[in-house]
Each structure stands twice: as structure tokens, then as C-alpha cells.
Amino acid sequence: MGKSLVIVESPAKAKTISRFLGRNYTVKASVGHVRDLPKSQLGVDVENGFQPRYITIRGKGPVLKELRDAAKKADRILFATDPDREGEAISWHLADALKVDGQSPCRVEFNEITERAVKSAIKQPRPINQDLVDAQQARRVLDRLVGYKLSPLLWAKVRRGLSAGRVQSVAVRLICEREAEIDAFEPQEYWSIEAELQPAGQADRDKDVFSAKLHNVKGKKVKINNQAEAEAIVEALRSLSFAVQSVERRERRRNPAPPFTTSSLQQEASRRLGFAARRTMRVAQQLYEGLEVGAAGTVGLITYIRTDSVRIAPEAQADARQTIQELFGKEYLPAKPPAYKSRAGAQAAHEAVRPTSMERRPEDVKPFLTRDQYRLYRLIWERFIASQMAPAILDTVTVQVQAGDYVFRASGSTIKFPGFMALYKEKGDNAEDADEQAGMLPELKEGEELTLLQLIPNQHFTQPPPRYSEAMLVKTLEELGIGRPSTYAQIIDTITRRGYVELVDKRFVPTELGIIVVDLLKQHFPNIIDVEFTATMEGQLDRIEEGKENWEKVLAAFWRPFSEELKQAEAHMEEVEIEDEETDEVCEKCGRNMVIKQGRYGRFLACPGFPECRNTKPLLKEIGVACPKCGSGQIVERRTRRGRTFYGCSSYPECDFTSWQRPAGKDCPQCGQFMVIRQRRAKGPESVCSNKECGYREEMPEEA
């Protein structure tokens, strides 16, 4: 057998794969794409079938030279890039650059980077799939046409440096429209009435007490609009006797959540671990490409991370069942492996995101992983194993209590059999299932008399729809068919970096700039910013991939109305002036009041005297705490270039104090080190000592 050259995207992936192949194989990395459209011009020949003009990406010349040199020494060249559109396109570009016939068996594809999967794929090379390449080219050209035609228009009409993206603009629209809903929302008052009850004759005032809520009056669901109505009902109830009308007991089964797709992984990592989508994808990529795990060497710990399918290979299910039996026992195994249905349009060729080996349990690999890697791997491992476990069984009791024409309802539940919940429970954006939160009710019988201990009227107001969190936005984009699994992190990163939205308390709020740009696009480019139109375009890209649509015809159908809208907008779109927000901060170089500007890495202070005065400063947000190191400076909130928040001293560079956690403004009574605030999802914030060896902690009020 002759020498083979295998080309992958990343050095980490190359290192992992080279371990599995013999010395007849050389594994090299292209380090992502080697060719792309030029940055300085459109790079698309609109008049000639939308043909793209590709050039070598700046800095990739030496990489290509290394690959060409290696190719000369090889008898066979195999492209082992990722198993998706982007990976297929990289292989296609590499084949062209290295003069390899793309229709020869030169492409290998695997869903996980394990010895078995890689060796199996090497034995079954196939030609490059031109339909996949065309779908990627269509998306790239489409995004280039929108970006490079709309952005100069926004520069001219609104502000220099602005840009618009096909999918990103729709995401900003969703956030703007949610904000408009919140602004227009008028809270409505309503009341509820709770009765605290106890079985009659119970001498112990604190025993068998339970609460029931007023549910209906004369068979109609109760609606109490104001305090006067609530007080009238309370007064009427005081003179009535209470008795158990009915007791309903039933068994409820709760099924586990399916294994992760890219989208559900991003959502759950956001809710459970506080990871931004970008952070989730970066760490997941490391787990997929391979890490050193002791004696096993470098190995890929999870399957391919860009997938919208919940399909599982039969051998993976068999391994999971064996692990469940070993860890929990036979009763936790369902009679047959669960079958989960992927959403319509999902790529069935891919599996869900799962561990490559069930035997590599989180605790076993923990010593070899970073904290982020371990936490994400554990989440994926537990979710997958739980998805193959038996349902949980809950015993629920619903009691109806009658008092004249009024009926109250109380419910409670206990876990009869934990099933998958012994390992994993999905975390939603809202409070967990009320049935599972409720405790058990006392033993009650139909007709049993009850003693009324007290009536509690409660005032409520209807709440506006919540702003989008990252998890909610990803879920909404997926449900609407906007973007694809591999693009969600990029979308969120782009709209935040461009200053169209801000994250406030982990929720997206549109900026004035974002609202103005969305309004302009709605007025002049209704299709570009239309949810349904964008989702339909995603469907067309999928059909190109399936070989059912011609990519040039799809682009032509898009370009005709879009180019006409461009002409109209250039002629009729009015210029919009956005005034910079003035601050009390005085420019020490010229004395003017500095203004807030939006830059590539967020907001900053700038002198309005530009270009005569070019003074700029970071925009510092004080948290009202003195620096624990120097005592004279104030602690301010700062951001890294990747957008992660940290805390530092306002006297920097004179004082170099920094902390990833928010200082609490007090010293530890045990060791004297400064205290920091740590957020806990279920119980609220707590104050903990920054010295990990000390371990002192104390509860603190929510307001902090």
C-alpha cells in the first residue's frame, strides 16, 4: 500500500487522527478554509450566473505550500473535513488547490473521532458531494450579496461602519419586536384567594395543614378583578363550612428529554452552566476534536457537534443500556431503547451529540479536562445516558374542596420511581413543573369536613412577555427555521458586537441603533427582514443540498426583487442622524464632555472633537465597591475582547487588581481576604471568600 495524505481542518483533529493511522498515513491540517471571496470587493459575478471569485485567504499561502509539498509525496489524498456543507466546501476548495479530481473517491466522512470510526471511513472514500458544495456556495454568495450591498447604504444613510446581515437582521428584528411588545404592555390587575385548611378534629394546629386555591364558583372558573371583589368573596367564605368534594389519585409518567442537538445543547448549557452559545461551541469543538485522557492518549470525547438530529446509532444505544444496568440496575432500563423523532427537515445522516464511549464517565476524565470541558462533557454524558433510561413515575393527588358554591383545588405529588431523574432533569427557562414542586397532601377522604385556618387574598398583575435570553433566542430561531445549528453562536456574537443589541442581566435589549436599522430595513427591504421569507430561503438551501434545486436559479430569483429594492432605497431612504450620548466625563486633553461611541468590542468613551482630538477611554461602570487591593480606586465592570465580564480597579494601571467574580465590598471574617458574590440558580446569590482554601460563605439578600 502506498503513502496516503489525510487533510483535516484543525491541528487538534490532525493530532487525534494521526494516532489511529499507521505510518503509511500523513495527517495535515488546512486550519479551516484556505480560499474565500475577497474582502475588498463583492467577488460575485452577478451577470454571469453568480459565479464566485475565490482567492487564497491572506496568511494561508504557507499552509497551502505545505499541503502541496506533502501531496507530491503521497500516492493518495483523502479529505477528512467535517461532515457538513462547510466541511464539504473546504474539501472541494482543497481538491481544486491540490489538483485532485473531486469525482474520484477522495472524501472520507466520520461522525466521531474514534479509532473505529476513522478507520472505517478511510476504507470507504467517496467523491465530493457537489450538491452539498453548491448549498454552501449559495449561502455564502447570498450572504455576500446582502452584506456588501446593504452595508454601504447604511454607511451613507445612518452611520459609517454599520453592516447588515441576512439572518442577523431577522434576529435583531425579533428582539426589537419583543421590546415593543414589552413597551406597549399594560398590566392587568387580578386576585387569587388561598385557603389554609386542616382536617376537622385535628388537635395539633401545625399538623396536616395544606393550602388550596379558589378554582371555580358555581362551576365557572373564577376571575377576581380587584380588591373589592376579593374582599367580598373572603367575607362570604368566612361563614361557610369546608369539606372534601373529591380526591383523585393517578400515576403520571414523565419521559426523559432526547439527546442533544446543537440547538438544545446551546440552550441547556446556557441555562445550567451560564455558557454563551459561542463558549459552548468552542468547548464542544475541543471535546469533539480530541483531548489527552491519560493512558488512552488523544481521543475525541463526543460526536460531531453541528447537528439537528436526535438519531442514535444502535451500538451507542446498546452501550448506554449496559452502562445504565451497571450504574442503576435493570429496573432503570426501558423494555426497548427509546426512539426519538427529529424535527422536520433535520439532517438524518448525523447523530445527536453524545459521548463517543459510555465507559469514559465524567469523573474518570475529569483530571485531564479544564473546568469548562469537564462541565460540558458531564452535561452531554448525563443527558445522553438519561435519554436511554426508563421514565419517571409520579404519584399525584388532586383534591377539590367545596364551600357552598365555591370550589378550591389543591394538588401534590411524590416520586414513586425516579427513572431517568435519578441522573438528569432538564432545566427550563421558567420554574420547574409545579407538580414536582408540590409536597404530598394529608390523607383525605371524600366528604371529610375541614377546618378553615385562614383565607389569604393575593394581588397579582399580568406580566409582559420576557426579553430573550440566549437560550430563548436560539430556541425561537430554530422553531422559526431561521439559520442552522452551526450559525446560532455566530448570529448572537455578530448582533452584539455590531451594537444592535446589548445583554442586560443576561437578556437581550435592542439599542437605539438596532431599532433604527430594523425600522429602515422593514420599510425598504421587507423581504430581507421577514421571518417567513428567511425561513423559506433556508428551505431552498436545504433543497439545493438534496439536489432538488439549482443554486444559480435560487440566487437569480432572490436577486431580481432585491436589486430593485436597492435602487429604490438609494433614491428614497432618508438619512438618519443618531446623536452620541453625552457624559459628565471631561476630556483631559481638550476639555470637552466625552460621548459614548459603539466600537468593535462594545461601547467606549470618545472625545467629540475628533479628528482634532482623538482621545478615547474605556467606558467604566462602577459597582459601588472600593478596591480591596489599593483602597483608593473604585471597582469597575470591564469586558474582555470576547465579551466576558470581569472586575478591575479604576486606578489601572497603577493598581492591577482583577477578579472574575463581583467583589462584595467586605472582607472575610475568617481569613481577611475579600469576599465575592456568587450567583446560585435555585437559591439566589451568596457571598463567598475569594480564598478557596478558606471556604467561608454566607447568605445574602436577593437585591445584592
- List residues with catalytic annotation: 304
Residue 51 is which amino acid? Q
Distance CA 652, CA 655 (A): 5
Please, are residues 303 and 357 in contact by the beta-carbon 8 Å criterion?
no
Kindly report whether the peptide bond that precedes residue 653 is cis, defined as omega within 30 degrees of 0.
Answer: yes
Give the closest residue to 135 by CA, choosing from 675, 546, 662: 546
User: CA 410: distance to chain centroid?
Assistant: 36
Beta-ladder partners of 414: 395
Residue 270 is which amino acid? S
Please, are residues 182 and 467 in contact by the beta-carbon 8 Å criterion?
yes
Please, are residues 610 and 628 in contact by the beta-carbon 8 Å criterion?
no
By the 10 Å C-beta count (0-12 exposed, 13-18 middle, 19+ buried), 668 is classed as buried
Distance CA 416, CA 339 (A): 24
Cell output for 111: 461522525
End-to-end alpha-carbon separation of the chain, Å?
68
Q: Provide CB contacts within 8 A for 662, sequence distance 6+.
A: 623, 647, 676, 677
Please, are residues 322 and 358 in contact by the beta-carbon 8 Å criterion?
yes
Question: Residue 382 belongs to what H/E stretch?
Answer: helix 371-387
Residue count of the chain, please give it.
Answer: 704
Beta-ladder partners of 662: 677
Distance CA 3, CA 252 (A): 61
Q: Provide CB contacts within 8 A for 388, sequence distance 6+.
A: 256, 312, 317, 320, 321, 324, 334, 337, 338
CA atoms within 13 A on the CB side of 190: 10
Cell output for 650: 479604576
Cell output for 622: 462602577
Question: Residue 229 belongs to what H/E stretch?
Answer: helix 227-238
Residue in this structure with the C-alpha cell 426589537, named with its chain if needed? 176
Please, are residues 176 and 513 in contact by the beta-carbon 8 Å criterion?
no
SS3 249: strand
Distance CA 163, CA 160 (A): 9
Kindly report whether the peptide bond that precedes residue 611 is cis, defined as omega within 30 degrees of 0.
Answer: yes
Cell output for 398: 388532586
